[in-house]
Amino acid sequence: MRPDPAPRLTELAAERASGALLCDAGTVYLADGQVVHAESPLSPGLDVLLTTGGRLTADSWREAFDRTATAGRVGRFLVDSGRLTGAELEICHLGALFDAAWFALGPGSGPRGFQRGAAHWLGPVRPVGAADVEREIRRRGKLLEGLWPYPRVDTEPVVLRRPDGHLPPVTRRQRAVLAFADGMRTPAGIARALGRPAFHTVLDVRRLAAAGYVETPRSPRTPLPSAPAPGPAAVDFAEPDAPLLRRLRDALEAHL
């Protein structure tokens, strides 16, 4: 079955469509126009959140998936077998749904097509209105922009900075992120290692960048028209004025 041309989520909700909205950075599943699940390679799946997070063993998850995935009843099996309570499944599912939807539908991603009738193997848990999903995506975007306006830190390897004086204290969550900041793992990789939602890790990384703990990737500066273009070995870079931005952030927070 070939996917339909890419529609918008609001259009699918209006026609009460069921299927999979295929996006550049993930997939959003709908049933009767409501969002029932979302997946993204940039976001740890429900299996990672439950197993790495310590709520289920890998064997318990594997058994549930192997026995009921083809019937689309994995979620129901986890509850009926006593592995999770209904409330636990619902809370974890909503976290995974909003996390993946942010990457699938957020900045830098766009719809590529719609696979009508496609259903997710998890099965029904708690549908979410499309308007609520889009509102949450906008809220998260504004939150990130207000913390540190350099989105490249969201997707590139997290690199520790050398201390340049007194730095503000970090939370326990942020210390866990710093422990995995090995210069190779991206925020998504750190989230997967910790068994946490990726967006929460992105938040921590932006806060740590604003506080001076991790590097902000540099972006090439466009040469002035009157200046000669730099050669391959002489690329000019613009680095954000981190101390100034931190002072501005602190001043804004003081007036909120």
For the stretch 93-148, pLDDT in tens is: 999 999 999 999 998 888 899 999 999 999 999 999 999 999 999 999 999 999 99
Whole-angstrom distance, CA of residue 159 vs CA of residue 47: 28
Identify whether the C-beta of residue 145 lies closer than 8 Å to the C-beta of residue 68: no
Identify whether the C-beta of residue 72 lies closer than 8 Å to the C-beta of residue 31: no
All residues at 6 or more sequence positions from 164 whose CB lies less than 8 Å from its CB, including other chains = 212
Residues 219-244: b if buried by 16+ CB within 10 A, e if exposed: eeeeeeeeeeeeeeeeeeeeebebee
For the stretch 175-210, pLDDT in tens is: 999 999 999 999 999 999 999 999 999 999 999 999
Six token digits for residue 212 = 């001076």
Q: 100, 112, 98, 101: which is closest to 21 by C-alpha? A: 112
Tell me how far apart the terminal alpha carbons of the chain are, to the nearest angstrom. Answer: 52
Question: For 67-94, what is the mean pLDDT?
Answer: 95
Model pLDDT, residue 2: 57
Model pLDDT, residue 164: 74
Model pLDDT, residue 5: 62
For 150-167, the DSSP string reads: -GGGGTSPP-BPPP-S--
**For residue 48, which phi and psi values (nearest 5 degrees)?**
-70, -45
Q: What percent of the chain has pLDDT over 70?
A: 83
Whole-angstrom distance, CA of residue 83 vs CA of residue 208: 36
Model pLDDT, residue 6: 63
Model pLDDT, residue 248: 44
Q: Is the pLDDT of residue 77 over 50?
A: yes
Q: How confident is residue 247, by pLDDT bands cut at 50, 70 and 90?
A: very low
For the stretch 3-35, pLDDT in tens is: 666 678 999 999 999 999 999 999 999 999 999
Q: How confident is residue 216, by pLDDT bands cut at 50, 70 and 90?
A: very high
All residues at 6 or more sequence positions from 37 whose CB lies less than 8 Å from its CB, including other chains = 28, 29, 93, 96, 97, 120, 122, 125
Half-sphere exposure of 146 (CA within 13 A, CB side): 11
Model pLDDT, residue 162: 84
